[in-house]
Amino acid sequence: MPITIAMAGKGGTGKTTTSALLLKYLLERGMTPVLAVDADANANLNELLGLTVCSTLGAIRKEIKGDMPPGMSRDQYMEMKIHQALVEETGYDLMVMGQPDGPGCYCAANQYLAMTMDRLAENYRYILVDNEAGMEHLSRMNLRKIDYLLIISDPSSRGILTARRIADITEPLQLEVGKRFMLVNRAPDPVPQALQEKIDHAVTEAGLPLAGIISASNDLINQELQGRSYLQLPSDSPVVRQAYAIFDRILA
């Protein structure tokens, strides 16, 4: 079975940035193949990877509400369309969930999706999920077992409080989580004492180990402004070294 790593956190905390850096880490360490899943409704992981997305699972779910091609069952059609939606790259593939279900949810579509994801997951060593805060997409994809849950916070009291709350919502979704960590993103360097105390208090009360703190980085800003993939960031960039040291600790 593949190892599943999922990101969670409120909007704007840098989940997608962390996902792109983690994908770069897995590729450079030879921990492949990887299925990267953009499960945030505001999907933009492909932009940080320099990729174009032509189809999403949300669009496919809508398609299978209609008539099927002659001789094909709905689950066969779903599987075919999902493989077509995969963006295939060296060492990894990208899949985008797209917009969540709206009014008149066709629940059978999610069942077909779950069955197809079960078969698809067998082809990968790692599944990396850039998730929304609510994590409902994980249950739609039938990803009930999360080996590593990284709860991302920005350097604010509200972000850290939200991270604590997210750590508690895995039980209602019946998710089996192996290891949970908090990761604080875009922090000033050095970290102010007041922020460090807030982080220490939160991780102690929530029983949520601190994976580490990633500093705010002009390298990331410049890479995005130039429209270049985060996978092309120099390995000696301070933010890359900082992120890799964190990933080494938690995935060792």
- Least confident span in 57-61, 139-143, 246-250: 139-143
Q: What is the pLDDT of residue 173?
A: 63
pLDDT, residue 74, reads: 78
- The answer to whether 2 touches 118, Cβ cutoff 8 Å, is no
Task: Name the residue among 54, 64, 20 with its Cα closest to residue 38.
Answer: 20
Report yes or no: 180 and 209 within 8 Å, Cβ to Cβ: yes
What DSSP letter does each residue of 103-130 carry, written as one string?
SS--HHHHHHHHHHHHHHHTT-SEEEEE
Helix (H) or strand (E) holding 145: strand 145-153
Average pLDDT, integer, range 25-30: 97
Tell me the average pLDDT of the chain: 85
Query: Rounded distance, CA 21 to CA 237, Å?
Result: 12
What is the share, in percent, of the chain residues with pLDDT greater than 70?
A: 86
Judge whether residue 168 has pLDDT over 80: no
Residue 215 has pLDDT above 90, yes or no: yes
Query: Residue 106: which pLDDT band, with cuts at 50, 70 and 90?
Result: very low
The domain ranges of the chain are 3-251
Q: Does domain 3-251 have CATH number 3.30.1360.120?
A: no
pLDDT for position 24? 98
Is the pLDDT confidence value at 105 over 80?
no
* Choice between 74 and 91, residue whose per-residue pLDDT is larger: 91
